[in-house]
Amino acid sequence: MKRKRRAQCGIASGFPRQRGGHTSVHFDLIVQGGTVLDPESGARTRADVGVVDGEVRAIDPDLPSADTAELIDAQGALVLPGLVDGHTHVYWGGTPLGVDPDALAAASGVTAWIDTGSAGAGNVEGLVRHVIERSPLTIKAFVHLSYVGLVPAGHTDLRFGELFDHRLADVGACLRALREHAPHVLGVKIRLGANSTGPNGVSSLQAARAVADASGLRLMVHVADPPPLLPDVLPYLHAGDLVTHTCTPGLMGILDTAGRVRDEVWRARERGVLFDLGHGSGSFSFAVARRALEQGFVPDILSSDLHAYNVDGPVFDLTTTLTKYLALGLPLDETLRRATREPGRLLGEDVGTLRVGARADIAVVRLESGRFGLGDSTGEVVDHHERLAVHATVLAGRRIVADPTVRPQGKRKPGLPPIDPRLTPPAGHAPAR
Ligand SMILES: [Zn+2]
C-alpha cells in the first residue's frame, strides 16, 4: 500500500528531527554526497538521500550514516529519480522484439518502463502475467489495436504488417483486454504506415479512436512512412494522446518540405497532444531533431524505443538516447525531465520524482568526459565530449546490480552489415554474438 506523501515536493527533509540532530535515525540505505537534481524544478542541491522501508525518508545535506546498511558514494554524480523510459518493448520471449527489463534496469538506471503495444488483445495476458506482475520494476503497457500485437515486419523477413488485414483490428477484443488488465494498461497503441497498416491506415486509426473513447484511456500513434500523412492523422488525437517517433526521417514526419515544424504539429501540441521521441532502429534523425530544436520544438518525452533489434546499437539504452539531446544542445535539466517526470506522469503521481515519501527509485548518474560516437537511425554519427553514464540504480530502496550470467539481449536481422564501429556503446554493454 502506498504511504501518504509527507512533503509536497522538492528537496526537503520530511523526517522528524530530534533536538541535537539525527542521533536516533536509522536508514537502510543512503546515497551520499551527490547533487540531487529535481528534474521538475531544475533545482540542484548537494544532499544525501536517506531510504527506509523502500521509501525516500529524508533529503538533507548531512544524514547520519553510522548504522546504515548500505552507502552509495555519489560524490561528483547527479542523484535523480529512477529513469522512466516512455517507449520500450519488454515482452521478452513473447514477441521477437522483446528485451528483458529486469536484466537491463541496473545498468541503465531505468526503473519504470512503458511497453508500447508489443501485445494485442490476443497475447497481452502473457505480458501481464509473465513480465509485468513478476517484475519489481514499474511497468505498464499500451495494448495494440491489432489482435496479435506488433508484427516486426521491418526487423525480420516478414512482409506482413499487423494491420494489413483489417479484420485484426478487433475493437471489442481490445476494449475487453484494457478492462481486464486495467491496473497494468495505459491505453491503445497503433502503428500507422506502409509497414504496419498498409492501405488500412485511416480505418485503423478510426478503430483505435473508438477504443480510446470507449475506454477513456490514451491513444498512442506511431508514425513512419505513409500512407497516411501526418496532417490527416493529428485531428484524431486529443489532449493526453501521444504521437511517437516524433523525429522520424520518414515522410509522416513533423517537418514540412521547407524544414519547418508543421502548423498542424504546433496546433496538436497546443491542445495537449504529447510528442514522444521513440528513437528506435528507424525513427530518429539528428537532422530532423536539430531542425525542430532550432524552432523550439522538443519532444515532450525522450524515450528509446528499446527492443531486441536496436539494443546493440544505435539505441543501446535510454541514457545514450538522452546524451544525443545533450549533444544537440538541450540543457541537462530539460533533457532529464523528459525521461523522469514527463513520462512518469503517465504512470503515477510519484513516478519519476525524487521526494520524501515517494518510492525510493533512484538513478545515480555521472557526466563522463571523453569522446563518444552517437548514431541516429539514418547513419549520421555525432561525436560529443560527454555522456550520461549510470553509476548506481536503486529500486524500491535496494541497490540493484547487473547479473553477469544473463544472456545478451540483442538480435540482428541476417544479412545486415554490422553496427557502425564509430558508435560508442555504454560501459559494460554485452552485444549478442
Ligand atoms: Zn516501438
Cα distances (Å, whole numbers) of residue 202 to 154, 187, 199, 231:
21, 19, 8, 12
Sign of CA dihedral 344, 345, 350, 353: positive
Ligand 1 center to 9 CA (angstroms): 32
Same domain, 101 and 119: yes
Question: pLDDT above 70 covers what percent of the chain?
Answer: 94
Same domain, 211 and 174: yes
247: which residues sit within 8 A by CB, 6+ positions away?
A: 253, 254, 277, 283, 284, 285, 288, 289, 292, 299
Q: Give the pLDDT band (50/70/90) at residue 1.
A: very low
Domain holding 189, by residue range, is: 83-347
Same domain, 76 and 109: no
Same domain, 72 and 117: no
Ligand 1 center to 5 CA (angstroms): 34
Q: Give the pLDDT band (50/70/90) at residue 10.
A: very low
Ligand 1 center to 310 CA (angstroms): 11
Within a domain: residue 286? Answer: yes
Cα-Cα end-to-end distance for the chain: 43
Within a domain: residue 4? Answer: no
Which of residues 347, 369, 403 is at a domain's end? Answer: 347
Q: 101: domain CATH number?
A: 3.20.20.140
| pLDDT at position 18 | 39
Ligand 1 center to 116 CA (angstroms): 6
Ligand 1 center to 146 CA (angstroms): 14
Same domain, 211 and 70: no
Q: How many whole angstroms separate alpha carbon 203 and alpha carbon 223? A: 15
Ligand 1 center to 198 CA (angstroms): 17
Ligand 1 center to 204 CA (angstroms): 17
Ligand 1 center to 356 CA (angstroms): 33
As a whole number, the mean pLDDT across the chain is: 92
Ligand 1 center to 144 CA (angstroms): 11
Ligand 1 center to 313 CA (angstroms): 15
Ligand 1 center to 177 CA (angstroms): 20
Q: Give the pLDDT band (50/70/90) at residue 24.
A: low
* Domain count along the chain: 2
| pLDDT at position 433 | 61
Ligand 1 center to 189 CA (angstroms): 10
Same domain, 283 and 167: yes
Same domain, 51 and 194: no
Ligand 1 center to 24 CA (angstroms): 49
Helices (H), 332-378: 332-337, 341-347
Mean pLDDT of 392-421: 90
Ligand 1 center to 87 CA (angstroms): 6
Model pLDDT for residues 149-179, shown as the tens digit of each residue: 999 887 778 889 999 999 999 999 999 999 9
Ligand 1 center to 358 CA (angstroms): 29
Q: 62: domain CATH number?
A: 2.30.40.10
Lowest mean pLDDT, pick from 41-45, 222-226, 385-389: 41-45
Within a domain: residue 368? Answer: no
pLDDT at 424 over 80: yes
Model pLDDT for residues 255-313, shown as the tens digit of each residue: 999 999 999 999 999 999 999 999 999 999 999 999 999 999 999 999 999 999 999 99
CB 425 within 8 A of CB 374: no
Same domain, 35 and 112: no
Ligand 1 center to 115 CA (angstroms): 8
Within a domain: residue 424? Answer: no
Ligand 1 center to 114 CA (angstroms): 10
Same domain, 71 and 90: no
Ligand 1 center to 132 CA (angstroms): 17
Same domain, 217 and 308: yes
Model pLDDT for residues 53-99, shown as the tens digit of each residue: 999 999 999 999 988 999 999 999 999 999 999 999 999 999 999 99
Ligand 1 center to 308 CA (angstroms): 11
Within a domain: residue 196? Answer: yes
Same domain, 185 and 330: yes
